[in-house]
Amino acid sequence: MEASRMPDQLRELVSELDRQAQECTRHDTGASGEAIEGLFTLQSQGADYARALRKLQSSIAECLAENRDWCAITIPDESLLWKVCAFSRPSARIADPLFMRQKTTTFLKLVDRQNNNDDIQGIWENKVIENWVTSDTPSALFLEIPFRGTGRVRRFALDFIDHLHEHHPVLSMIGGLSQADADHLLPDPTPKTVLEHLIVQALRHINPEIRLGFFAETVSSFRASTTAGDLLGLLKAVCANISKLTIVFDLSIFPPRLNEGMDAASWPTEFSRLITGLWDCSYPVFCHVLLLGSVLPTAKIASEGDVISVGISAMDFGTSRRRFPFHPPRPIPKAYEAPKPARSLDSRILKATLS
């Protein structure tokens, strides 16, 4: 079938596959396709990626020549989905989330003299945290961070991510990088760039049985998304293909003032809608969201639910409104079981005070 007679989405996809294959071949340096210094770029993908793109193009051509349903073609390499999307914008730079977490952990160890497991164990042992982690109903939890307590909360978030990764997908965006690492990995943390990273992370967890119809639609939507609202809609559509996930999102990653129509107070509302939308769809998706943020936007966030105010250290209760009971030391809670169907979402954001 001639390109002019192809459906629009398929024609756009074939053109994008060809562009990326040519770009890879032009800049081939023998790279393996892994992240280089924590970044995935099209130019670093190497000849193997170009061959995979050409192979997919050939499969599409054969399918069309035989008048078969192109939407049903199975993608041979699941990594093509997130890579083609990520690199569909010529200047795309996607930071490796694992590399970012490792760099953040290293930097926190350097700057925080009280960096120890006991410091975060108090958060793990709080009953409200345990109930939230083990709940069979998805919801959001907001950890309010006093300025001097950012290291403690981020260490907990990093430990929380590492723990849950053993059980189900976790999408994350955590602040706390050194200025040099931030300038290299995420120099422009706007709502759009951060959402692009979350979408790419989600695409890496899609079931291997990816059909070309979904592939073409996703790439087209990613390329066409020009606003944070567009990308939030795409994030929901992608996450709808994952049965259970957790999102850990640090609001302090953004500069104090943004000009894209989304400030810190907007995110709890948007994530609440995401949780509800995923849980209420035909095939319910269990999505927990852990939000981290400074004390400053708390008053604005109160309309979406209450917050957990985290003290600076294990011995500091700060100015929190209430202290929940603590219990003797015990292992970190096990991951929650598979979610049970429910008619509606309990959208309350849990409230507590952590010492």
pLDDT digits (tens, 9 = 90+) for 2-11: 555 688 899 9
Q: Are 228 and 260 in contact (CB under 8 A)?
A: yes
Percent of the chain exceeding pLDDT 70 equals 73
pLDDT in tens, 257-314: 654 556 666 888 899 999 999 999 889 999 999 998 875 455 455 455 446 766 544 4
DSSP 44-98: GSHHHHHHHHHHHHHHHHHHHHTT--GGGPBPS-THHHHHHHHTTSTT--EE-HH
Residue 113 has pLDDT above 70, yes or no: no
Q: What is the pLDDT of residue 110?
A: 86
Residue 89 has pLDDT above 90, yes or no: no
Percent of the chain exceeding pLDDT 90 equals 49
**∠ CA 126-328-115, rounded to 5°:** 65
104: enclosing H helix or E strand: helix 97-111
What average pLDDT is seen over the chain?
80
**Residue 61 binned pLDDT confidence (cut-offs 50, 70, 90):** very high
**∠ CA 223-229-234, rounded to 5°:** 50
Closest CA to 13 of 93, 73, 96, 94: 73
Q: What is the pLDDT of residue 351?
A: 40
Q: What is the pLDDT of residue 315?
A: 38
CB-based burial of residue 79 (10 Å sphere; 0-12 exposed, 13-18 middle, 19+ buried)? middle
| Spatial separation of the C-alpha atoms in residues 325 and 210, rounded to whole Å | 47
Q: Give the three-class secondary structure for 169.
A: coil
Strands (E), the chain: 39-40, 94-95, 140-145, 170-173, 244-250, 286-294, 308-310, 352-354
pLDDT in tens, 125-184: 878 888 888 899 999 988 877 666 688 889 999 999 999 998 999 999 998 899 999 999
- Residue for token digits 């930071």? 95
| Spatial separation of the C-alpha atoms in residues 272 and 348, rounded to whole Å | 9
Q: What is the pLDDT of residue 354?
A: 46
Residue 337 has pLDDT above 70, yes or no: no
> For residue 192, what are the β-bridge partners?
none
Q: Are 174 and 104 in contact (CB under 8 A)?
A: yes
Provide the token pair at 350.
């849990």
Look at the chain and count its residues: 355
Q: What is the pLDDT of residue 118?
A: 57
| Spatial separation of the C-alpha atoms in residues 255 and 74, rounded to whole Å | 42
